[in-house]
Chains A and B, each alone.
Chain A
Amino acid sequence: MKLSLKLEDQQQNQNPILFKAKIPIAVFGLPFLSAFSATHHHAAAASDKLSLSLRTHFPTGPSLKLSYNTPTTTANSGAGKMDTSPKPKSKSKKPKYSRFTQQELPAWKPILTPGWVIASFVAVAILFIPAGLLCLSASERVVEIVDRYDDECLPDSYSNKGDSFIQSKDTNKTCVRTMKVPRKMTAPVFIYYQLDNFYQNHRRYVKSRSDKQLRDRSYADETRDCKPEDNLDGDENEPIIPCGLVAWSLFNDTYKLSKGNKVLDINKKDIAWKSDTEIKFGSDVYPKNFQKGELIGGGELDETKPLSEQEDLIVWMRTAALPNFRKLYGKIYSDLEANETITIVIQNNYNTYEFGGEKRVVLSTMSWLGGKNDFFGIAFLTIGGICLFMAINFILLYVCKPRPLGDPSYLSWNRNPNGL
């Protein structure tokens, strides 16, 4: 039997016990041990506790404990606030932590090591050189016949006076040319007319059209941007449909091809973009007052056919980006054998003599890359070659003059610690 009493002075983290007493008592003649303790926290965030417990003398056994908790007010209420929660906190001004605001997001930090750089140059070379060869071979397979005719189709009496040749109504504009097929051309063979030195990308030219008028019959009067080709003789009630310089300068040379005696059919359907024939050029818009003025800029239009069927006009109105361009004239759906002679009958109607333009007729097959264009092949090969050259250079540099990355001895303050 013993009575023990414990008083603690030191503050400990866990349970700072002020006072604890164990007193044996007897209840109904049975011996029990009762304990009484009090804890008190000086710091914040804890409560005072008084407890009374009753247990047996056996080492293990049931016990009964009554305890009373009270929240305490802190000794130095710096925040000045008394809260009744069991663990009061002082107000902290620290902003809420988030990885984004503290700029601690995990990041991948690559650096340019020789391995990666040389590998990427080699990879580019490996990809580009075969691609260049592929593109060159595709371009090689395309067969193309180009024939310039604007100088040849001008009669000698009119040389240097080409514009008056065209403008006069009495001259015979028919011209017959022959071409030889160098290799077999498989169908479809595309016929283009090529114009040089014709600036369809000039600002005033590009602006001079009215898309609204082309699309919709009810906008026939929308000719604001089309000056000077907006209406007939300045009469506001007679708008020109289609208005503008782009339509006015419609190309109107025609070609008829024949092979020996056989006439080659030129299919002039589906030469324009489908989106243009369906949407951009209305099927209820008919040409009106077209090319009726003093100056004739190009071809005329059939007034009975709606604009959506005037495929030559539609092709022409897709303005080209460069001064030398080709536009689709028609397609031939039969093969042309090698060494055949093709005869073209050209109506030399279009006046390029005024501004020093050139006209050519082109027959060409198509590949997956388009027409004959060596640029892709050459460019790929050049760039692949340069990349390979650079890769080899870097390898040589790396082998001959290695420089360890991140060597702190190269830092100037390490080389010269006394001065900076």
Chain B
Amino acid sequence: DVAFVIDGWALEIALKYYRKAFTELAILSRTAICCRVTPSQKAQLLSIVNAKHMKAPCGAKLIRVGVLEILVELLKSCDYRTLAIGDGGNDVRMIQQADIGVGISGREGLQAARAADYSIGKFRFLKRLILVHGRYSYNRTAFLSQYSFYKSLLICFIQIFFSFVSGVSGTSLFNSVSLMAYNVFYTSIPVLVSVLDKDLSEKTVMQHPQILYYCQAGRLLNPTTFAGWFGRALFHAIVVFVITIHSYAFEKSELEEVSMVALSGCVWLQVFVVTLETNSFTKLQHLAIWGNLVVFYMINWIVSALPRSGMYTIMFRLCRQPSYWNTMFLIVAAGMGPVLALKYFRYTYRSSKINILQQAERLGGPILSLGNIEPQTRALDNDLAPLSISQSKNGRNSVFEPLLSDSPNAVRRSFGPGATFDFFQSQPKSSTYSRNKDN
């Protein structure tokens, strides 16, 4: 656990003479605090750094942004994920340079906020941004992307299997209307509402910020999880295909009917897969998931009522046959049974940390934790003194204008020559997970 504090002069010397060693130090340390650099020091940096972004010779204005931008670029070149936060116009370039730029819209205007990927109102909101919203966003994105692959793979695999029984001639089991409607109507609505999904409540996350480790560095979206979804698509395709062609064999074997049975099986499986993967069900989610099933049948009834369509009366015939519903039950049970069993087994006997917290939270009771870094009342103390990349107008170290006038830390000027900034790092592809910045 290494942290270093460096001020402007030292930073300049380090970058000039000891760049490699300094880079290594930066990589090894958890926290870095770089103090304010005054313009006079920066004037000399121009000669050192002949980076591409330092074009104009008329120096001072550009040099002002140079130092931190250089640092960001340094870290990025070492495959770090960098986050830069700033509030003023001179932070814009640093914010744009970093992987994640956060701008604070505040007293120094909206320039940084406009250039940033995320803009917040106060520095202390950064914690919520990363811990709460960033985490939720990562979960939801991971689910959405893998689910989209899954539902398309399901259809593709079924078509491939069908080609084995159709003389490998390229007959499509599903007609074009069904395929188009599958992607647009039958499977897109449930995931649109996955934007409301929360695996852990905010309170739990705030109490256990260490959980962020388990949501970073590709924990939820990596080749292994993708292989899991791929395998699930393959397994479900096998289930749907085998059950359909054996249930609808011999005298029931008719291309349109078999096609509709297979498609119904797919849609039913989707519904249950989404249900199993959703962590919190609001009314909207219930409506989207079950309503989606209703919409599927209604659309097909409507198409089945058109005499000119190839699907005329297909759905009506099917819904009257007991073997259709038997097939649906079989497909759902055979498809979801192993998935549910596996998920339950891993949830109970090989729980991930998220699962443990989920269980603790839902079963009620306070979650006591030894390593509790952040009891709620002290939350504000962790906000550091307001950051400022630029120097104040008069450039004196002792006095500076806090960025946020109503920051509770405004009085803590004793923290020394004011400008501080933190940057977040995550380690690329190594076995230990990223260092979570809490303090």
Q: Which residues of A are interface residues toward B (Cβ below 8 A)?
A: 103, 105-112, 114, 117, 120-121, 124, 128, 131, 135, 190, 192, 194, 199-204, 206, 211, 273, 275, 279-280, 318-328, 368-371, 373, 375-376, 379-380, 383, 386-387, 390, 394, 397, 401, 403, 405-408, 410-414, 417, 420
Contacts and interface: CB of A to CB of B under 8 A. Distances in A.
A345 B279 CA distance: 66
Contacts of A112: 343-344, 347-348
A48 to B, nearest CB: 29
A111 B371 contact: no
B238 interface: no
Interface in B227-248: 243, 245-248
B196 interface: yes
A77 B248 CA distance: 79
Contacts of B208: 411
B198 A124 contact: no
Closest 3 CB pairs of A and B: A406-B360, A406-B359, A107-B280
Interface string B245-263: 1111111111101110000
A192 B249 CA distance: 13
B370 interface: yes
Given A321-B245, A375-B247, 5 more contacts: A120-B340, A275-B313, A323-B165, A387-B337, A413-B371
A103 B198 contact: yes
Nearest to A393: B341
B356 interface: yes
Contacts of A199: 166-167, 169
Contacts of A114: 344, 348
A320 B344 contact: no
Contacts of B337: 121, 124, 383, 386-387, 390
A122 to B, nearest CB: 12
A371 B248 CA distance: 10
A376 B165 contact: no
B2 interface: no
25 contacts: A105-B283, A121-B341, A131-B329, A192-B250, A202-B166, A202-B167, A203-B169, A273-B313, A275-B312, A279-B307, A319-B255, A320-B255, A325-B250, A370-B251, A371-B251, A379-B246, A387-B337, A390-B341, A394-B341, A405-B348, A406-B358, A408-B367, A408-B368, A411-B371, A417-B371
Contacts of A383: 330, 333-334, 337
B169 A202 contact: yes
- Most A CB contacts (10 A, CB to CB) among B196, B250, B259 go to B250
B139 to A, nearest CB: 13
Contact of A368 (B253, B322, B329, B343): B322
Contacts of B198: 103, 107
Interface in B339-379: 340-341, 343-344, 347-349, 351, 353, 356-363, 367-371
Contact of A107 (B250, B282, B330): B282
B171 interface: yes
Contact of A201 (B171, B312, B358, B367): B171
Contacts of B284: 105
A414 B368 CA distance: 9
- Most B CB contacts (10 A, CB to CB) among A200, A403, A411 go to A411
Interface of B: 162, 165-167, 169-171, 173, 196, 198, 208, 210, 213, 243, 245-255, 257-259, 279-285, 307, 310, 312-313, 317, 321-323, 326, 329-330, 333-334, 337, 340-341, 343-344, 347-349, 351, 353, 356-363, 367-371
Contacts of A386: 337
Chain A interface mostly helix, strand, loop or mixed?
A: mixed
A49 to B, nearest CB: 32
Contacts of B279: 109
B282 A105 contact: yes
A320 B280 CA distance: 44
B333 A111 contact: no
Nearest to B170: A203
A211 B310 CA distance: 9
Contact of B250 (A105, A128, A324, A412): A324
A406 B344 contact: no
Given A105-B283, A202-B167, A387-B337, A280 B312 contact: yes
A380 B166 CA distance: 27
A148 to B, nearest CB: 14
A404 to B, nearest CB: 9
A74 to B, nearest CB: 19
A203 B166 contact: yes
Contact of B255 (A206, A327, A390): A206
A105 B313 CA distance: 41
A383 to B, nearest CB: 5
Given A109-B362, A135-B326, A403-B349, A370 B356 contact: no
Contact of A413 (B257, B363, B369): B369
B247 A373 contact: yes
A264 to B, nearest CB: 20
- Most B CB contacts (10 A, CB to CB) among A108, A200, A326, A413 go to A413
A199 B165 CA distance: 8
- Most A CB contacts (10 A, CB to CB) among B247, B248, B253, B357 go to B253
A102 B88 CA distance: 28
A276 B318 CA distance: 16
B119 to A, nearest CB: 13
B344 A414 contact: no
Contact of A369 (B169, B323, B359): B323
